[in-house]
Structure 1
Amino acid sequence: MRHFGLIGYPLTHSFSPNYFKNKFESIEVKHADYKSFEIHDLNSIKKLVKTKDLSGFNVTIPHKQSIIPYLDELTPEANAIGSVNCVKVVEGKLIGYNTDAFGFKTSLIHLIGDKTIEKAIILGNGGSAKAVQYALKQMKIDYSIVSRSGDLNYNNLSPSMMRTYQLIINTTPLGMFPNVEEHPDIPYEAITSNHFAFDLIYNPSETAFLRKCSLAGAAIKNGQEMLEFQADKSWEIWNA
């Protein structure tokens, strides 16, 4: 039996366990399971890695960056991003990967199609935002970061500035279930049909942020497909 899992805190509404359960059934993987490990203190990871036949695990909030000191090795991509969401166990060694950037980039391409995006604005600057930044660099899309304490923040982001960006990406937890009416405080009146809006949140499927952007005419996308792509990439890594 091969064991896989997800570590984070809390994990009440996590995507991965059900996704992998269904995946194992659909591709007829009979000798594997995927469990949730609700870990608040990462010192507990030492006990987890002693689990017999543990092949790998995903990492979610709030541990994507804080797990790095506990790993034996990082891939060049994970090192450049500074965030890990996938760990492969090889002969007791923990190797950190980042599949968020791949998932985001692949899903974003599905959203924008053949449109040229020159400038993007990223709301938030946590671990997931770093993967988004990495993907945008790969796609040669210039970006600015809006955060509560940065040079560009929610107090000085003006409507005229908002109009200069074609792509708006929410990497904050604002609007995530159960706080579904929360949304980033940006000038939605400046959004038009020339904009694309991407929210990394998948529950609810349409956040207040996406709803406001859609009402203004923007093309929108949630984080469901991104999660599926990053999960499939994790499975590929664990089986390589």
Structure 2
Amino acid sequence: MNFYGLFGESLVHSHSPSLHKLIYQKIGLDAAYKLFAFPPTQLKQAMDGVRTLSIKGVNVTIPYKEAVIPYLDEIGPFAKKLGAVNTIENVNGKLIGHNTDYSGFGLVLSRRNWDVNGKIAVILGSGGASKTVEAYLMDHGIQMIYIVSRNPERFKDTKNKQYTNYEDVQYLKGDFLINTSPVGMYPNVNETPLSETSIQRFDYLIDLIYNPSETTFLKLGRENNKQTANGLDMLVGQAVRAVEIWEKCSIDEQVTKELISEWKKRHGESL
């Protein structure tokens, strides 16, 4: 049996173990998936533990997607480009970093036939997940991206990318509004990164959070007749890609669709 897991700081309400169990059942894989929660001061020990305990691979979530990079032996070209790792592969003690969030985010858009070409997007947050979303949008023809950060002065603007703060974002409007921050995540379910007034100036709202399935951010969008999507498709998509990397296999697209449908039924969400 192969052992896998998830690295993060607070994982009490993570759905990843049950999701991976479902994937393993679907493809007939004998494997186990565990949660590994620890404070930032123990990151090095945790990475050493992957080698010592012969854990075949781990996923990485907030706040370690960028912090794990110095502890890796190798970084795939895509993860290097994004500056963020969410999947680590253990090949005989050699730790290789990958990023599967890119394909996961693409699934959110493709399943809804949402086209970003020529559009304007505002991304809330400037961490690892934000970089992944930014790269996907750039690769698919976005016209302009505004990235909202608590410290925008740390970044450099480009021709089609500008950084701003949470005070000035209230003056922006566009097509896509994407929350990559943890604001609104369980248990702080009443929080929202932007006010209802700001939300009204966009057509499509995406929240990478999937627990709760409808954040206050998305609820405000729905009540204002906006198109909304949570992070479930991204969660499933990136998990499937991680298993493909770990097991050196290819999982059929239909299996991914079935996984999303079964997951929604289990959790009482409408299809």
Q: 2:100 aligned with 1:99, yes or no?
A: yes
Measured after TM superposition, the shift of residue 72 of structure 1 is 0.5
AA partner of residue 184 (structure 2) = G
Q: 2:216 aligned with 1:200, yes or no?
A: no
Q: 2:49 aligned with 1:47, yes or no?
A: yes
SS in 2 for 1:111: coil
Q: 2:151 aligned with 1:119, yes or no?
A: no
| CA-to-aligned-CA distance 1:153-178 (integer Å, 9 cap, x gap) | 1212234x22xx10000011111111
Paired position in structure 2 for 1:7 = 7
Q: 2:196 aligned with 1:184, yes or no?
A: no
Q: Distance in 2 between matches of 1:81 and 1:189?
A: 28
- Would the aligned equivalents of 1:157 and 1:186 in 2 still touch at CA under 8 Å? no
CA distance change for structure 1 residues 23 and 196 in 2, over 3 Å: closer, same or farther?
same
AA partner of residue 26 (structure 2) = S
Number of aligned residues:
234
- Would the aligned equivalents of 1:183 and 1:209 in 2 still touch at CA under 8 Å? yes
The 10-residue stretch of structure 1 (139-148 or 76-85) with the greater mean CA deviation from structure 2? 139-148
AA partner of residue 72 (structure 2) = L
Q: 2:27 aligned with 1:27, yes or no?
A: yes
AA partner of residue 245 (structure 2) = I
| CA-to-aligned-CA distance 1:13-38 (integer Å, 9 cap, x gap) | 112111111222233223x2111112
CA distance change for structure 1 residues 106 and 117 in 2, over 3 Å: closer, same or farther?
farther
Paired position in structure 2 for 1:143 = 145
Measured after TM superposition, the shift of residue 55 of structure 1 is 1.6
Q: Distance in 2 between matches of 1:114 and 1:185?
A: 24
| CA-to-aligned-CA distance 1:159-204 (integer Å, 9 cap, x gap) | 4x22xx1000001111111111100134635626x60000000011
Unaligned runs of at least 5 residues, structure 1:
none
Q: Distance in 2 between matches of 1:116 and 1:189?
A: 23
Q: Distance in 1 between matches of 2:32 and 2:15?
A: 15
AA partner of residue 176 (structure 1) = M
Measured after TM superposition, the shift of residue 152 of structure 1 is 1.5
- Would the aligned equivalents of 2:178 and 2:206 in 1 still touch at CA under 8 Å? yes
AA partner of residue 24 (structure 1) = Y
| CA-to-aligned-CA distance 1:91-133 (integer Å, 9 cap, x gap) | 2100000001110022122234357551100011111111111
Measured after TM superposition, the shift of residue 149 of structure 1 is 2.6
SS in 2 for 1:197: strand
Paired position in structure 1 for 2:226 = 218
Paired position in structure 1 for 2:266 = none
The Cα RMSD (Å) is: 1.8
- The ranges of structure 1 where at least 4 consecutive aligned residues each deviate by more than 6 angstroms after the TM superposition are none
Paired position in structure 1 for 2:259 = none
AA partner of residue 5 (structure 1) = G
Q: Distance in 2 between matches of 1:115 and 1:61?
A: 26
Paired position in structure 1 for 2:17 = 17
The 10-residue stretch of structure 1 (179-188 or 113-122) with the greater mean CA deviation from structure 2? 113-122
Structure with more helix by fraction? 2
In the superposition, the TM-score normalised over structure 2's length comes to: 0.81
